[in-house]
Structure 1
Amino acid sequence: MQEQDKDILHLLGEKLRQVRTEKGLSQSELSYDANIPKNQVGRIERGEISTSITNLYKICTALGIKVKDLIDF
């Protein structure tokens, strides 16, 4: 993976964690609401994986935000 890709994943993860905590949700609650595995939420937040646009959409829907708001960094 290229360094730029790692940077993007890290920024996305930080933004996701920020929004999730501002909404007062745990990783478990978000994973339940988005219908994705809890460990996947953690791995996205840590910038370890690149997730699909489908999962980003599920996460954003569960958070009550638009995808563009999550990736605006």
Structure 2
Amino acid sequence: MKATALVAWNLRRLRVKRALSQEALAVDAGVDRSYVGRIERGVENPTVETLDRLAKALEVPAAELLLVPKSNEKPPPTLRRGRKKR
């Protein structure tokens, strides 16, 4: 699996695990929401600095964004559409 695909997989997995929208993660990391979406689709190649900012916003080490999924692991789900209740 390519590094961009690993980052995409893990970013979505961690974001959904914390029930964060792309918008909320983007605000916390100081990046544009559409950029988070492009990273999750694997069409952007984020810098190490951006990976560090995203990891800090997700409260994980940056290395966790490069973990190889287990062979039987299902793709991360998506969150329900629309604004989340707080």
Q: TM-score range by the shorter chain?
A: 0.7 to 0.9
Q: 1:26 maps to what in 2? A: 21
Q: 2:53 maps to what in 1? A: 58
Runs of 4+ residues over 3 Å off in structure 1: none
- Matched residue count: 68
Match of 1:68 among 47, 56, 63: 63
What residue ranges of structure 2 are gaps of 5+ in the alignment? 69-86
Considering fraction of residues, name the structure with more helix: 1
Q: Among the aligned pairs, what percent are the same residue?
A: 31
- Which structure has the larger Rg? 2
Counterpart Cα distance in 2 of 1:17 and 1:42: 9
Task: Kindly report the root-mean-square deviation, in angstroms, between the aligned alpha carbons of the 2 structures.
Answer: 1.1
* Cα offset, 1:8, TM superposition: 2.3
| Normalised TM-score (structure 1) | 0.87
* Cα offset, 1:17, TM superposition: 0.3
| Normalised TM-score (structure 2) | 0.74
For the 8 Å contact 2:8–2:39, the answer to whether it is kept is yes
* Cα offset, 1:30, TM superposition: 0.1
